[in-house]
Amino acid sequence: MSTDNGPDEMTKKCWDEKYYQPEIERMDQEDLKLLQLERLKKVAEHCYRNIPFYRQSFDAVGFNPETIESLADLQKMPFTLKQDMRDAYPFDLFAVDVRDASRIHASSGTTGNATVVGYTTSDLENWGDCFARAIALVGGDSTSIMQVSYGYGLFTGGLGAHEGGNRIGATIIPMSSGNTKRQVQMLKDMGSDILACTPSYAMLIADTAVEMGYDPATDFKVSAAILGAEPCSEGMRNEIERKLGVTVVDIYGLSEVMGPGVSCECRYQDGLHVAEDHFLIEIVDPDTLEPVDEGEWGEVVFTTLTKECSPLIRYRTRDISRIIPGECACGRTHRRMDRISGRSDDMLIIRGVNVFPSQIQQVIADFSEVTSYYQIILSSKGPLDHVALMVETVPEFSFDEVRRIEDLQKRIMAELKSNLQISVEVRIVEPKSIERSEGKAKRVIDLRKAGE
């Protein structure tokens, strides 16, 4: 990691590695497995005793939680689906009385009943500890000032980050999302050194700061950004890091399981460390539901090990990832999952080809003439699917030369065809043509569903 001239850049980013709970984060793998087994037995019995859904599903496959002897017995248990959570609306998947819950979060419910999750006081403490680890992963501690620009409310992002800041003792600026110019001013005036928000909002904050006459990389004290809730390609990460002058780490979570903090990258940016003392992770083939070998891609399945209010057994997240083999140079022993490459349920099926929006994002990231702002528009032309990709150029790109625009369109179309085996109409648009988002970016507009 070092040379005769001193440490290389990666070492500079990681040589002051901090831990929030070193005795857990660096636990011996065998000891960790014993802890997981102990907790798996407890949570399985907790679910069986207190949640009729699990008692019925366990009985249906002839599984008795008292027979658990090894972690391999997890595969004898049935899966839990998001639809199961919707069917249980509002409290049928709670293992405690709702009056014993300290907080309730819920999804928007735009495609059916909302998925409702509850937290006891202990659940909130564990959630805070998980996010606090993420803060330590970027070098944060009790002296840090963290600006939380995730949305607050039923969405778990803002309050999850807030819990983590509280647990580690940081100073928290609870901005929530929106009012971007004020966000910029607070970053500047308050001396925030950690920013927590979605990748697309971090990009908007950076661009707004430049419009306001600031150079974020030199005028702000922000050194790290903990970004999650939506996909972020390596190209987008690099662009955010360059514009803000920060180290960007990806944090993963989903409200059904806990919220942000289920896993997070360290500053080596080589996979997200799973909080394995709180969650058992499996990677399964989305078609056969059989486990895949370590290093192979598949659907992520989580079992909560410490949740009291709304525990989940083998929850199918629909997210596609893999377990990264080997140990991380940061010294943490918890296994790492790769960044999410797409989803098994919302992948686009275009003329018989399975395509994830993140794959398109990865292709355009290789073109220096365009930014990470893009939008995919799906429509029908007769019996066939039609795909249009709107992508913004960098500010210095000239729209005065038609041939240059046409050449760029052809090159991107050819690369998409080569990589994804589908034909995509590319529309090059000027900066700020695509609507900005203060939360999750709307990347796909599917007009096929509207019959248009």
The verdict on residue 40 lying in a domain is no
CA 237/CA 198 separation, integer angstroms: 11
- Tokens 């290389």 correspond to 8
Here the tokens at position 399 are 């729209």
User: Could you tell me which residue, 436 or 287, shows the higher pLDDT?
Assistant: 287
Domain presence at residue 64: no
Q: What is the pLDDT of residue 14?
A: 42
Find the domain containing 440 and state its range: 348-446
Considering the domain boundaries, does residue 370 fall inside one?
A: yes
| Helix, strand, coil shares, percent, the chain, to 5 | 35, 25, 40
* Residue where one domain finishes, among candidates 319, 343, 367: 343
Q: Are residues 291 and 384 in the same domain?
A: no
* pLDDT interval class at 451 (50, 70, 90): very low
Question: How many domains does one find in the chain?
Answer: 2
Q: Is 231 found in the same domain as 170?
A: yes
* Domain match, 327 and 364 both: no
Are residues 382 and 276 both part of a single domain? no
pLDDT top residue among 25 and 435: 25
pLDDT at 436: 82
Claim to verify: residue 328 and residue 422 sit in the same structural domain: no
> Is the same domain home to 192 and 272?
yes
Task: Assess if residue 41 is contained within a domain.
Answer: no
Is 49 inside a domain boundary? no
Pair (168, 299) in one structural domain: yes
Q: Are the C-beta atoms of 128 and 161 separated by less than 8 Å?
A: no
One-letter amino acid of 359 = Q
Report whether pLDDT(382) > 70.
Answer: no
Let me know if residue 68 belongs to a domain.
no
What mean pLDDT is predicted for residues 336-362? 80
- State whether 330 and 352 are in the same domain: no
Is the per-residue pLDDT at 394 higher than 70?
Answer: yes
Q: Is the pLDDT assigned to residue 82 strictly greater than 60?
A: yes
Residue 140 and residue 172: Cα distance in Å, rounded? 12
What is the mean predicted confidence (pLDDT) over 352-370?
83
- 249 and 154 in a common domain: yes
87-97: b (≥16 Cβ within 10 Å) or e: ebeeeebbbbe
CATH number of the domain bearing residue 196: 3.40.50.12780
In a domain, 440, yes or no: yes
Confidence category of residue 7, pLDDT binned at 50, 70, 90: very low
Determine how many CB atoms are found less than 10 A away from the CB of residue 450. 8
Query: Considering 318, 343, 368, which residue would you say is the last residue of a domain?
Result: 343
The last residue of one of the domains, among 315, 343, 371, is: 343
- Confidence band for 11, pLDDT divided at 50, 70 and 90: very low
In a domain, 430, yes or no: yes
Let me know whether 143 and 264 are in one domain: yes
Q: Do both 208 and 293 map to the same domain?
A: yes
